[in-house]
Structure 1
Amino acid sequence: MYNFVEHGGKETSTINEDPVKYEQFMKRIEAGEKIEADDWMPEEYRQTLIKLISMHGISEIMGALPEKEWTPKAPTLKRKLGIMAKVQDEMGHGQLLLRVAEDLIKPYGKQREDLMNDLLTGDLKFHNVFHMETRTWADAGVVGWLVDGAAIISQTNMLDASYGPYQRALQRICAEEVFHAQHGEAIIMELAEGTEQQRNMLQDAVNRWWPALLMFFGPDSASTTGSSKQEVTTKYKIRKSSNEELRQAFLDKYLPRVFSLGLTIPDETLRYDEEKEYWIYQQPDWNEFKKIISNNGPRSKERIRLREISYEKNRWVRQALAPAPAYS
């Protein structure tokens, strides 16, 4: 990632770099003001935004690939058109977010192309769910319904983010993600009401995707060693809730819907604690999570290679659209 020190910056503490400006900045944050790209901001804030927004943007682009695999294999023309439109939307979200991230890395002499290069070298990560296989048409439904549902919960939590460009981008993205979730839900409903073979295919997809869905929100800081940066994002009012709070919101919303379709969850420990108003569940393997996001997931290598081929194949388009060199 674009670590300030790694790219030639001077290592300073967030507050000591300019105590007066930092205090003024925090007063703006506490007052609910929006920070813009050209405003002064502490390095910790800028670095947090770069990591968050670039990962979000790249995840939108890489997230189109699992469903893209099912575009030619969708069972009807209607479903084919639906999934094509969704893939197009996801790519657009990625481009929008990478433009937001580009403004943040410009002070380091970097541009959007550097973000893509970081993906290809493994320095920029993307969400664990997009490293997974989509074996059947039911997987495409689960991605649209539950993965996009998880994304909506995560992203709406930042709809009032303190960084204005990101907050405004999220307004559009979240509105479109609602349609994506409805697209996935329509696939799920059709399979759930279909033949025994279709229902079995759907249950198999839920079983396989369940651990990845729990991992989607990231580990609770109390469950792993090291900082998850949750405290930093909440301190700067980039987001409101912790990873575990978001996971619980997902369980609250989607478990009743899953059960209403006669589906089960592959977790014998799963139960709702009425007294604490809290879901008890089996923790996913967080070591496996780290392995997956380090590009060692089931489909990591293939998807990154596909992105690399596409990036090189379309280099001529970027060159054609690049500004003409200035002549003296």
Structure 2
Amino acid sequence: MEETVSFECLSEHQKYELFMERIEAGEKIEADDWMPDEYRMTLIKLISMHGISEIMGALPEKEWVPKAPTLKRKLGIMAKVQDEMGHGQLLLRVTEDLMKPLGKTREDIMNDLFSGNLKFHNVFHMEAPTWADAGLIGWLVDGAAIITQTNMLSASYGPYARALKRICAEEVFHAQHGEAIIMALAEGTKEQREMVQASINRWWEALLMFFGPGDASTTGTSKQDITIKYKIRTKTNEQLRQDFFSKYIPRVLSLGLTVPDETMYFDNQANKWIYQQPDWARFKQIVKNNGPKSQERLKLRRKSYEMNSWVREALGSGS
């Protein structure tokens, strides 16, 4: 009778091979399953950044809650802010389970944010000075997020894939909310149309940067290769950026608006958009908390965290 060797008796290499067989077979990895350190750390970095970005991403729109032009718009943007905060809490909970074996907690995540060790998305370091910016965040920034997140709906890590199902469904409503604002302004007065165009001009570089640097051979990064290897996602940064162009450039042009890149066109032979690369050195500075609103928003997040420490203490003590 053939003996069955227990998983615990296998070497690290054998465990890794079995793990990769599960990945290749399309199985979902769960929080309590064995996983290689590289996989765990990749997930922790990705999901904690995603979760914190959802929370920090609510702040530019939160600024517009008291200034929204109508009660209907005020209620809409309030609901969106609430959703984004909920997404952040859901994702941080997923991250906590991954961090438990390392003896780390959610407090470590927040401390990493405040110390600069945990970065949040480049777009949420930017200014939103007009109502058109509030609409554009919903329309194009959330549109870019949908493209990125739907690419991970079949992620090999089960808890993240399941969380993304709910998040992506709600992000669709957020994009429609933003599009409705932009459509109303684009069909409005000359001043309103100019406001929308100025917003597109202001956000264009940040939108290009949204998906991250492209080819690893030119940028020196291999993080996207690791996530593809472990089937956390299926497309590269550049493929996602091209998907964004194909979906949204026609929509922008259909409203009589333009993108601030005179060199941009679709190359039928190469089957891709040709465009001017953003300043990737500036991107690195922005995500290091040197963007226009980085410190102001971090200060607000830190103040909120400190002011609500009594709630965490009360819940922790069981009282």
Which TM-score tier does this pair reach, normalised by the shorter chain?
over 0.9
**What residue is the counterpart of 2:280 in the other structure?**
286
1:223 CA drift (Å): 6.5
Kindly provide the CA deviation profile for residues 61-108 of structure 1, in whole angstroms up to 9, marking residues without a partner as x.
000000000000000000000000000000000000000000111111
List runs of 5+ in structure 1 lacking aligned partners. Answer: 1-15
Alpha-carbon shift at residue 216 of structure 1 (Å): 0.1
Distance 1:17 1:112 in 2: 32
What percentage of residue pairs aligned between the two structures are identical? 75
Query: 2:4 corresponds to which residue?
Result: none
Runs of 4+ in 1 over 3 A off after TM superposition: 222-225
Indicate yes or no: 2:54 matched with 1:54.
Answer: no
Equivalent position amino acid for 1:78 in 2: K
Q: Does 1:263 align with 2:282?
A: no
Query: What corresponds to 1:194 in structure 2?
Result: 188
Shift of 1:274: 1.0
Q: Which residue of 2 aligns with 1:11?
A: none
The structure whose residues are more often helix, as a share, is: 2
Give the aligned partner of residue 5 of structure 2: none
Query: Which residue identity does 1:55 align to in structure 2?
Result: M
Q: Deviations over 1:227-256 (max 9, x none)?
A: 241110000000000000000000000000
Structure 1's 115 and 194: CA in aligned 2 closer, same or farther, altered over 3 A? same
2:156 to 151, 162, 168: 162
| 2:305 maps to 1:307 | no
1:225 Cα deviation (Å)?
A: 3.5
Q: Does structure 1 residue 102 correspond to structure 2 residue 96?
A: yes
Paired residue for 1:275? 269
Give the match for residue 250 of structure 1.
244
Please report how far the alpha carbon of residue 323 of structure 1 lies from its aligned counterpart in structure 2 after TM superposition: 4.0
Letter in 2 for 1:128: N
Task: Provide the rounded CA distance (Å) in 2 between the counterparts of 1:35 and 1:62.
Answer: 28
User: Counterpart amino acid of 2:64?
Assistant: W
> Does the 8 Å CA contact 1:219/1:228 hold for their aligned counterparts?
no
CA RMSD of aligned residues (A): 1.2
TM-score (norm 2): 0.95
Within the candidate set 184, 205, 212, 1:211 is matched to 205
Change beyond 3 A, Cα 1:207–1:17: farther
**Paired residue for 2:7?**
none
2:196 partner letter: L
C-alpha contact (below 8 Å) 2:213/2:219 kept by paired residues: no
Question: Given that residues 210 and 266 in structure 1 are in contact (C-alpha distance below 8 angstroms), is that contact kept between their aligned partners in structure 2?
Answer: yes
Shift of 1:224: 4.1
> What is the CA–CA distance in structure 1 between the aligned matches of 2:298 and 2:98, rounded to whole Å?
24
Aligned length: 310
State whether structure 2 residue 20 is matched by structure 1 residue 23.
no
Judge which range, 217-226 or 188-197, deviates more. Answer: 217-226
The CA distance in 1 between the partners of 2:318 and 2:186, in whole Å, is 55
Give 2:35's aligned amino acid: M
Match of 1:113 in 2: 107
Deviations 1:171-192 (A, max 9, x none): 0000000000000000000000
2:16 equivalent to 1:35: no
For structure 2, which runs of at least 5 residues remain unmatched after alignment? Answer: 1-9
Give TM-score scaled by structure 1 length. 0.93
Cα deviation, residue 320, structure 1: 1.3
Could you say what secondary structure the match of 2:77 adopts? helix
Which residue among 173, 180, 200 is the counterpart of 2:174?
A: 180
Tell me, what secondary structure is at the counterpart of 2:266?
strand
Are the aligned partners of 2:216 and 2:222 in contact in 1 as well (CA < 8 Å)? no
